[in-house]
Amino acid sequence: MDNPSNEQNEQSGKIPEFFLEKKEKVEKKEIHKKLFGLKKKPAKTELVKKDEGSLLDADFNRNKLFSKGINLMADEKLEDASKVFEMVLRINPNDVDALLKLGYSRFHLEDYSEAMRAYDKALDIDVTNADAWNLKSLVYYERKVYGKALDSADKAIDSDPTFGMAWYNRSCYLSLLSQIPESLDALVRSIEIDVKNAKRAVKDKDFMNVRFEEGFKRIVEVVVIESLRQGYHTIGSIVWTTLLDSEDVIKCLTRLMKKGLVVKHEKRQVWSTIDTYDLIPEMANKIGTMKRGMLGIPTKALPRPVKNLKNLAEAIQLIKSSIEEEELEKTIEYCNLFVDSSKCGQEMIDVFLEEHREVRLFKIRLKDKGIDFLQDNKKKMLAMFENMEISVTKKLRSDLTNNVL
């Protein structure tokens, strides 16, 4: 996999279009392969290949093998991937990431004993690893030991309360154990973290016990509203995007019309008419809508508060990167993003007033004292922006979920 460090350094200096006056738009990196279902973690600093001795560099060889294993997993060559991750573990027997990938490969090969052994070894090294607990719960699930699966999911949540998939799995296990109210509570929490879990739930057979509960019907409504928001307005297209039965879609649309959230229209065609459905204007303005052109390509209009938060999140990423790399000029430049009212300044005043003052102070000190101030206060600055990032992420999730709900 080509990943030159020079390209990375060049791209790190670019700023999203929102923050620029007359600069080129940042190109998005295209993801060619989807990794298997481990929770994404912050990318580690990439290694630069040394001119001499790279073959003796344990980290270089480890990373090269690990990338090879990931590619084999993406190509569904799981037996080969397992062998590669075992080679990684010969270099470092305590490599938790390699243990998780090895366990995941063995799990999909239905070798549950070896998968469990890998996860247990990872937990011996790091007992708070949420991924390991969550994946261990899936082994118990496949063995139909739902009580132990639930216990493992709970430990994953204890380690990371914002782990949406662990909450989702917990709701599945509770449903299978016929603990209906607790199952719905866990499912709602998983949707608050990641609204995509709503769509996943409506076609999951593990929720057969809760399908007729009022709480689950509201989740189905969330999925149908999301489909309407994305520009699908006929029963056929909603069925296609949600994978719900047409009967369930019709019942759901009827409930939404009674609640005054959806309106029905008749679209005349040459020989017949077809029913179409739309969100009421107030709802559409609140959650943002997506229109589709002739080729089905979406054009999305985000609600203003969400757009502002996304811009703020991008600005935080930029300044964190410049602080970590100790780039003085870029850090001063990015401070302006949080002060300028035409960028993120107003959002900072509204939501992060104290931090807004701190950023202004940082900017003055950086100009006066230069790189020494940046190095001496690096940890303090990063901690402040990381806390802001957590708050922005939670608020984004909450706003998007509340708008849909």
Instruction: Give domain status of residue 315, yes or no.
Output: yes
Which DSSP category does 16 fall into? -
Structure tokens at 357: 């003052």
Parent domain of 342: 304-404
Q: Which pLDDT does position 269 carry in this prediction? A: 67
Cβ atoms within 10 A of the Cβ of 28, count? Answer: 6
Same domain, 324 and 368: yes
Same domain, 291 and 342: no
Q: Which pLDDT does position 21 carry in this prediction? A: 52
Q: Which pLDDT does position 50 carry in this prediction? A: 42
**Element of type H or E holding 298:** strand 298-301
Rounded to the nearest angstrom, the gap between the alpha carbon of residue 59 and the centroid of all alpha carbons in its chain is: 28
Same domain, 337 and 278: no
Instruction: Give domain status of residue 359, yes or no.
Output: yes
* Cα–Cα distance measured from residue 405 to residue 392, given in angstroms and rounded to the nearest whole number: 20
Instruction: Give domain status of residue 71, yes or no.
Output: no
Same domain, 365 and 388: yes
Q: Which pLDDT does position 171 carry in this prediction? A: 94
Cβ atoms within 10 A of the Cβ of 246, count? Answer: 11
pTM value is: 0.54
Q: Which pLDDT does position 100 carry in this prediction? A: 94
pLDDT in tens, the chain (405 residues): 444 444 444 444 556 655 555 444 444 444 333 334 444 333 333 434 444 444 455 678 888 899 899 999 888 899 999 999 999 999 999 999 999 999 999 999 999 999 999 999 999 999 999 999 999 999 999 999 999 999 999 999 999 988 989 999 999 999 999 998 999 999 988 887 887 788 888 888 898 888 788 888 888 888 888 788 877 878 888 887 777 778 888 888 888 888 888 888 887 766 777 888 888 887 777 665 555 443 344 444 445 555 677 788 888 988 998 998 889 999 999 998 888 877 888 778 777 878 888 888 888 889 888 898 898 888 889 989 988 888 887 776 665 555 544
Q: Is residue 266 classed as helix, strand or coil in its secondary structure?
A: strand
Same domain, 269 and 333: no
Q: Which pLDDT does position 273 carry in this prediction? A: 79
Same domain, 293 and 330: no
**What b/e readout covers 139-155, taking b as 16+ CB neighbours within 10 angstroms?**
bbbeeeebeebbebbbb
Q: Which residues contact 361 (CB under 8 A, 6 or more apart)?
A: none
Instruction: Give domain status of residue 293, yes or no.
Output: yes
* Domain final residue pick, 252, 267, 300: 300
Q: Which pLDDT does position 20 carry in this prediction? A: 58
Q: Which pLDDT does position 4 carry in this prediction? A: 47
| Count of the separate structural domains present in the chain | 2
Same domain, 276 and 329: no
Q: Which pLDDT does position 41 carry in this prediction? A: 38
Q: Which pLDDT does position 44 carry in this prediction? A: 38
217: CATH = 1.10.10.10
* Cα–Cα distance measured from residue 372 to residue 321, given in angstroms and rounded to the nearest whole number: 18
CB 404 within 8 A of CB 222: yes
* Domain final residue pick, 279, 300, 321: 300
**Identity of residue 52:** E
Instruction: Give domain status of residue 317, yes or no.
Output: yes
Q: Which pLDDT does position 40 carry in this prediction? A: 37
Instruction: Give domain status of residue 242, yes or no.
Output: yes
Instruction: Give domain status of residue 33, yes or no.
Output: no
Return the sign of the alpha-carbon dihedral for residues 337, 342, 347, 348: positive
Same domain, 309 and 294: no
Same domain, 327 and 392: yes
What end-to-end distance do the CA atoms of the chain give, in Å?
42
* Domain final residue pick, 268, 300, 332: 300
Instruction: Give domain status of residue 107, yes or no.
Output: no
